[in-house]
Amino acid sequence: MGRQPCCDKLGVKKGPWTADEDKKLVNFILTNGQCCWRAVPKLAGLLRCGKSCRLRWTNYLRPDLKRGLLNEAEEQLVIDLHARLGNRWSKIAGKMPGRTDNEIKNHWNTHIKKKLVKRGIDPVTHELLKKQPAQESQAPSRDRDRDTKPESENAPESDSVVTSEDTTSSPPENSSSGESRSSDFTNLDEHPLVSFLWGDEGYEEPPLDSSWKFPGLGDNYDASMSFWEENCAWLSFDQDFGVDNFGLECLTDMEMADRQS
DNA sequence: AAGCGCCTCAACCGCTCCCGT
DNA sequence: TACGGGAGCGGTTGAGGCGCT
């Protein structure tokens, strides 16, 4: 139907985000909250399309994001949820505070899929593969080496479908996107994200509030990033995301919701 | 030390869903 | 109820990183 593109193709920047752009976006969202994404680039002074801004925020800049690889419990949780929900990554991510759909999707495609195949499980149906492909995967290859961590590799597969019973270790108390956590900061000075972003030298002060500067931070983006990672741990699993439980109940709820839809 | 090939993951694209009118 | 517009979702891509030869 020739839908209107989400943004003018002309004059819209693509590709990796710069620290400067990140700062502008974060400044804007922390100040104004998430309004309509279409308007964000213009208001924030970015030459990006709104979609791109939303993606950058939800997948990378959001304060409540955990970073780093999924741990074993999280992986198992992903497997369980995938068995129930299929490729509905956003729903899966919704049950894993601090993780994004993109992150989970990537991890699934690059790690979990392979592991399941190695264990003789079809990653699509979560049922046992007819012919154990374990042997096939023995073929020497570098990535196998990388993947070949002892941890779950030897897990016996007695069930054709992976169940949730063994995921009681799953940490998240609840779900909910936690998208607007930034509003919890009454003083933006205290916002670690602002802190780390200011750590980048050479950035021109935005017209918002010069008091946001944090000279104590590192000089480069990476250093600041690690600062951010360290200081935002509280935003991950320790945080109350507003949903009571993250056990099987949530799955039941999901199933109910699915049935309704 | 250099070159090559594979892997990872951030970002894009296009479709679907949802909501307001 | 139908339509249009915006947001969200899932699949895909490609640049950069890393390990092996």
Cα A135 from chain centre: 33
CA distances from A235 to A25, A224, A231 (A): 20, 17, 9
The pLDDT of residue A200: 41
pLDDT in tens, A17-61: 888 888 888 888 888 887 788 888 888 888 888 888 888 888 888
The pLDDT of residue A65: 83
Report CA dihedral (A236, A240, A242, A246) to the nearest 10 degrees: 70
A145 touches strand C (CB under 7 A): yes
The whole-number Å distance from A219's CA to C13's C1' is 33
The pLDDT of residue A133: 44
- Mean pLDDT computed over A174-197: 44
The pLDDT of residue A218: 33
Residues 6+ apart with CB under 8 A from A131: none
Distance CA A71, CA A80 (A): 14
A95-104, A107-116, A165-174: the lowest-pLDDT one? A165-174
The answer to whether residues A198 and A212 touch, using CB atoms and an 8 Å cutoff, is yes
Chain B positions with an atom below 7 A of a protein C-beta are 5-16, 18
Looking at every residue in chain A, the average pLDDT score rounds to 61
Q: How many Cβ atoms from other residues are within 10 Å of residue A74's Cβ?
A: 21
The whole-number Å distance from A93's CA to B3's C1' is 40
Higher pLDDT, A197 or A243: A197
Cα A16 from chain centre: 17
Residues 6+ apart with CB under 8 A from A51: A6, A7, A37
Where does the pLDDT of residue A10 fall: very low under 50, low under 70, confident under 90, or very high at 90 and above?
Answer: low
Q: Specify the DSSP class assigned to residue A121.
A: B
Chain C positions with an atom below 7 A of a protein C-beta are 4-12, 19-20
Higher pLDDT, A181 or A68: A68
Distance CA A193, CA A259 (A): 39
The whole-number Å distance from A144's CA to B2's C1' is 25
Where does the pLDDT of residue A246 fall: very low under 50, low under 70, confident under 90, or very high at 90 and above?
Answer: very low
A130 touches strand B (CB under 7 A): no
